[in-house]
Amino acid sequence: MALQHKVFVYGTLKRGQPNREFMAAAAHGRGRFLSERHTKEQYSLVIAGRFNFPFCINKQGHGKRIKGELWEVDDERLQNLDLVEDAPMFYQQNLRVICLEDGREMEAFMYQLSNYKESLLSLPCLDDYDSEGAHNLPHRPHKITPAETMLLMHKILGTTDHLVGAEVIPA
């Protein structure tokens, strides 16, 4: 199957980061690293939540040009990325302009939060995520239940009002 999709990753999926194995594993479809690049537009890249997730907020012009990696992937890898990123329920897969080394521009899919608490915009904004960076907020590996995942997503999105009385039982 052809590598027909361009994807821009900026967080734990980058090479050298905690979830890098996903992008390298053949079991998730085919893909190949193209180069390190940055977004044309500015976005807020913040670290939040009890597991210190990096989030890119879908609000153009707020934040910094984000550095990341440009990958070429097949349909299967793109579908598996949607599962990992819980798109479209949590992240949305958006086409964004990525700047190439020679000055040209290319569109690539980028996973971003479109529904979020405004307070996320007040967090320190990064231009380049590194789990072990100077921010002192390393990504924490986690195993959580589907109920905990749902509750975490709703807390980050600020939509917990309807979850009053919901109980999360640790695994």
Cα-Cα-Cα-Cα torsion 129, 131, 137, 142, nearest 10 degrees, comes to 120
d(CA 38, CA 40): 7
Beta bridge partners of 96: 108
Catalytic, 85? Answer yes
The catalytically annotated residue of 21, 69, 76, 85 is 85
The residues annotated as belonging to the active site are 85
